[in-house]
Amino acid sequence: MDLIKARDGGVRSVYESFLWNVVDEGRAITVEIARLADIVPQYIIDPSKSRFKPILLDYNYFVNCEHHDNMLSMYQDLDDDIFTENKQLFANLVNLFDSLASFITTFKQYLEEASSDSRLEEWDTVRELELEAFYLIGLSCLSLERLFAAHTLERLVVLLFRLLDDRSSGLVFALDFLHAPQNAEDTLFSRVGIPLHFVDEILEVFGDRFHEIQVHSSSLTRIRPILPSLLFLSLRFRPQTLANTPRLSRILDLFFRDQWVISVGGHIVNLVDDWSNQKLLSSLLASRITPARARMLTDQQLAALQTVDLPQGSMRISMIPSLIPLISKYNAALQWLCLHSYDKSSTRKSSGLTTAVKTSLTDHFEPHLAMANVARVEHNIITVYERTLRTKKESLEEATASVCSLIDEIAEILKLTPNLPLKEDRKTKLIDWFVVLKTRLQEEAQGQKGAEIAMEVKQRVDHVISSVGLSLTLAAVSPRLQQSLDALYALSSLNKTHLRSLKATSAPGYAIEMLASWSSQLQYMLVNSPLPLRALCYKLFLTVGVEAVSVHSSSRRSPLARALSSRLSKRLRASLDSLPHQIFEVIDTCVIPQLEQRWPTALDKSEVRRLADMDERLKLAEGTRALANLSLGVASLSSRAMGGRPREVVSEGIRRELRVRLQKMISCEGGVHDSIGRAGSESNLLRSALILACEHMRVPGSAIWREEVASLFEKEAERIVDRAAKRKTWDDNWLDREGAERRERSMIRMMIDATNPKKTRYIGHEQAWRDTKSGKEVFTPAILSRLEISLPLCTSSMSRLLRARASISLRSILNQMRPLMPTTDVSPESLVRLSRSLPSSIGDELAGMTQSLLLAHYLDHARMRSARLMVPHVSRALEATTQFMNGEGDDSSLLSLLPLLRHLGLSPSGLSLSSLSSPSSPAPLSPIAAVCIALWLTEVGGVQTTLGTLPLPSETKTRLALLRDTVVAGRYPSKNKPKVINIQNTIDVL
């Protein structure tokens, strides 16, 4: 570090390389802080209702570590769980603390050892990188303050300190650096320990000598866009400077006279709120920014926005040079309006200023629409710019040739046109001048000064033609020559630096924090006109590219871009999170009411009138239009904007919303008849409407329904059975615990209560349960048949739970009777007591066991009855299969398989004539698989097949087994078993 004191060019290149690494590290740290803030679990942020609350401690833990460790020893299982769930997060936090400690320590050492003489006098890349590194340290502190609550950081540090055996230097640094502030002056900025002379020098240079720097320096390329943020952070590092009123006044006049809301690395900072505790700063800012001035500034920015005429339609390369200043002007005005109308005020003064800005805005101004409007133009410009830049050499040759051909055409016109207002010798000189001009263009137009030469030629040609009076003579050629020279000038001006500058101007990093407040507007855009939303996403993702390009090391760019893209995608997904709710709203308001209508065979006048009601008929059309727009919007969004494949994102949302709807649908209000009847009718309507809506969006609705219903019933039944098996006891209270979330348990509990032998009596010849007191019928197996038709997976899980209940009851009976066995030694007194208690307890267990078995029997009977209804479909499937195997079948014969496949729960939307006729079709089930299913069901030729590795859902296989048992039951005697073959071999043969 002693070399830092030198001032020769070679050493300064070493400084520059060192500072580039420091700046790249700082950028990575700020991005990582934001990324980790998004994935910290909610129970660490607010542990008040979490099971981990006893182990989530703040810095009070260090007051008496031994005492707390003894208490926490009782919660070792919680420590293990929280470490297992957040292992990757904890590792990333340790890496972050290590990097942050190294970043701050290294830069402080650089500042302390480097000579401070005239540090900012000679302005170059080293000076800019020093300021940028300082800015990134301040941004890291600001990000930690804004994205993490102080007590959340303390909990995380204490967790890492307790759970990790290897306590790195970064964790020790975080232990001292991240504790909650003790007073107003105790902040992260004050704990960094940046040398005060460096901060004073920054404030002095930009407060007292900023105009001098602007005059003699053409640099400031990297820090010019962040100067207001740099000065804001400098004041946070050096609050003692606030006593220097003249310097503060100059800083406010230079940087904050026309703005009081700024974006600091994506964090929107309202200076009125942030400086409310600083009396001097607050008073100086209040004297410059008043509601009247806020309205005047709003009118100025709004006028600047409205005066920019953005072009529509196709984009030509010659238009770009004149459009870039307009785009910059538009984006500057748009940023000011977006920031100052963002209503997140925390004080009365800032709220008054925000109100003044909003009252001055017109009703038609919407920030997201204005951003989407300019985004379309920016997309066209950048697309044309990048495409032309890739073929710049060839395009320059073509443009130069076009200009030269037009010059030849002008020379030919001058030669052949008689009676020109020129003497012959002057005419010859003019022709020779155009030839010389052409030669110069051919030689120099493709060089570094090509743009200057093109503009010079344009001006000279225009001057000569107008001065010698040839405007009318060359009226047909002159405009084309001007356009060709403009195109040549635009092509010669193209370079990657200008493109990066355009993207930096267009990138709205400030808007990422606003996405949450734009949620409803973005969803409205998606439903009504998704293309502006796609343009807006494109503009937002420009921020990712700009940040990545600003990184010096190419190896760091891709990880940084991925992290930024992931965070932005998560914000976009959160803003569109209610999209599935809108889909179900369309289902509820448009689709289900239409499906509920039942038209009689004979229509009277009232029915005809209802049928002819256009408003009523258009509801379904409006619903399908809304679904189509949603589908178009989802498809048009780029995959990275949604954080994955857009349709997968929508499918996840539909699944999430469907779970909520299913839990509400299977309610337990009223009796068994009402609950099961309502569940059956509602499930049929919801299933049909969901499949219809998903077909319009090209989402697999049938598969979603099948999998979510299976998850709702089967997985929960499996969990209850496993719990009962572990505890070796059964408790009916398990079935209605958390009833608001697990409705299917309560439904089974209702069935058990309705058939309770103590309250009801089973009438065998009626096959019904009646109340013992009133004699009213309370339950019949017909209810189960209705449930099997609507929710067959529900009956499967119910049957499993009932059989588990009966099994555990039987085990309990055997355990109670064990003392009566001859091998057991029991005293006579105990035997007497046991003989008195056994009849009642065993009687209750036997009653519960028989009750469970009887209900399970009727559930199985309902499933078998449903299977028998499919025998005609199986018979027709057999005929179609036979024809197909004999080579006599056609598309119409294969249509006989469709009813069977629908009953098996397979998607009917993908099974049509076209999909069945082609084995290579992407339909959910191939024709060969359908034929093999029919073979397996119908035992063609006495050969029994098995399902093998056929990719079918588990419920479909269950139904197949039931159908097969029903069809084959009477065809073969038990002793005459058919030969078994594997269905995969059948597929290979076919």
Q: How confident is the model at residue 758 (pLDDT cuts 50, 70, 90)?
A: confident
Q: Are 380 and 315 in contact (CB under 8 A)?
A: yes
Q: What's the distance, CA 721 to chain centroid?
A: 37
Residue 105: pLDDT band (50, 70, 90) is very high
pLDDT of residue 391: 85
The reported pLDDT for the residue numbered 565 is 82
Work out the average pLDDT over 309-332. Answer: 84
Q: CA 788, 791, 793, 795 torsion: positive or negative?
A: negative
**Domain parsing of the chain, residue ranges:** 1-192, 195-272, 290-390, 392-497, 705-867, 869-989
Select, from the ranges 2-16, 117-131, 461-475, 680-694, the one with the highest average predicted confidence (pLDDT): 680-694
861 pLDDT higher than 60: yes
Task: Indicate whether 68 pLDDT > 80.
Answer: yes
**Beta pairing, strands 267-270 & 261-264:** antiparallel
Average pLDDT over residues 735-757: 57
Quick one: pLDDT at residue 694? 79
714 or 351, greater pLDDT: 351
Q: For residue 264, what pLDDT band results from cuts at 50, 70 and 90?
A: very high
Over range 353-370, report the average pLDDT. 83
**Is 80 exceeded by the pLDDT of residue 295?**
yes
Tell me what pLDDT residue 964 has.
Answer: 56
Q: Which range is most confident: 36-45, 603-612, 883-892?
A: 36-45
Segments in 180-311 forming alpha helices (H): 188-192, 196-208, 210-216, 227-237, 245-255, 271-274, 279-288, 291-307
pLDDT band at 260 (very low <50, low <70, confident <90, very high): very high
Virtual torsion, Cα 754, 756, 760, 762, nearest 10 deg: 100
DSSP 599: -
Q: Fill in the DSSP letter of residue 55.
A: G
Percentage of the chain with pLDDT > 70?
65
CA distance 359 to 347: 18
Report d(CA 446, CA 135) in Å as an integer: 41
Residue 133 has pLDDT above 90, yes or no: yes
Determine which of 222-226, 513-517, 791-795 has the lowest per-residue pLDDT on average: 791-795
Tell how far CA 131 is from the center of its chain.
35
At residue 143, the pLDDT reads 93
Residue 543 · residue 507 · CB < 8 Å: yes
Q: Is the pLDDT of residue 189 over 80?
A: yes
Q: What pLDDT score was predicted for residue 962?
A: 57
Residue range 595-605: mean pLDDT, rounded: 63
| Predicted confidence (pLDDT) at residue 760 exceeds the cutoff of 50 | yes
Q: From the CB of residue 378, how many other CB atoms can be counted at a distance below 10 Å?
A: 25
Cα-flanking dihedrals φ and ψ of residue 825, to 5°? -90, 115
pLDDT band at 940 (very low <50, low <70, confident <90, very high): very low
Q: Is 944 helix (H, G, I), strand (E, B) or coil?
A: strand
Contacts of 126 (CB under 8 A, 6+ apart): 12, 15, 16, 19
Q: In three state form, how does the secondary structure of 791-814 look?
A: CHHHHHHHHHHHHHHHHHHHHHHH
**Pairing relationship of beta strands 267-270 and 979-982 according to DSSP bridges:** unpaired
Confirm if 654 and 580 have CB atoms less than 8 A apart. Answer: yes
Compare 158 and 474 and report the one with higher pLDDT: 158
Residues 281-307 have a mean pLDDT of: 89
In 58-157, beta strands by DSSP E = none
User: Given this model, what pLDDT does residue 28 score?
Assistant: 92
pLDDT at 989: 40
Largest CA distance in the chain: 147
pLDDT tens per residue, range 549-562? 888 888 888 888 88
Q: Quick one: DSSP state of residue 52?
A: T
Highest-scoring range by mean pLDDT, 425-429, 478-482, 508-512, 611-615 = 508-512
**Mean pLDDT, range 862-872, rounded to an integer:** 63
Looking at per-residue pLDDT, the higher value among 870 and 418 belongs to 418
Mean pLDDT computed over every residue of the chain: 75
Greater model confidence, 361 or 813: 361
* 565 close to 640: Cβ distance less than 8 angstroms: yes
Q: Is the pLDDT of residue 136 over 90?
A: yes
Q: Is the pLDDT of residue 446 over 70?
A: yes
Confidence of residue 336 (pLDDT cuts 50, 70, 90): very high
Q: Which of 897, 861, 862, 867 is nearest to 962 (CA)?
A: 867
Section 291-313 average pLDDT: 87
Is 0.95 surpassed by the pTM of this model?
A: no
Query: How high is the pLDDT of residue 261?
Result: 92
At residue 61, the pLDDT reads 87
| CA 733 vs CA 538, 543, 741, 750, 850: distances in Å | 54, 55, 15, 11, 19
pLDDT in tens, 673-708: 666 666 667 777 788 788 877 777 777 787 888 788
Residue 220 confidence class, pLDDT cut points 50, 70, 90: low
Q: Average of pLDDT values for 868-878?
A: 63
Give the DSSP per-residue string, 27-42: HHHHHHHHHHHHHS-H
Residue 734 has pLDDT above 80, yes or no: no
Q: Identify the residue with better confidence: 597 or 506.
A: 506
**∠ CA 343-344-345 to the nearest 5 degrees?**
95
Q: What is the mean pLDDT of residues 460-479?
A: 73
pLDDT at 745: 43
Confidence of residue 411 (pLDDT cuts 50, 70, 90): confident
CB contact at 8 A, 137 and 106: no
| pLDDT tens-digit map of 791-838 | 666 777 777 777 777 777 777 766 766 666 555 566 666 666 666 666
By mean pLDDT, which of 393-402, 558-567, 949-958 is the weakest? 949-958
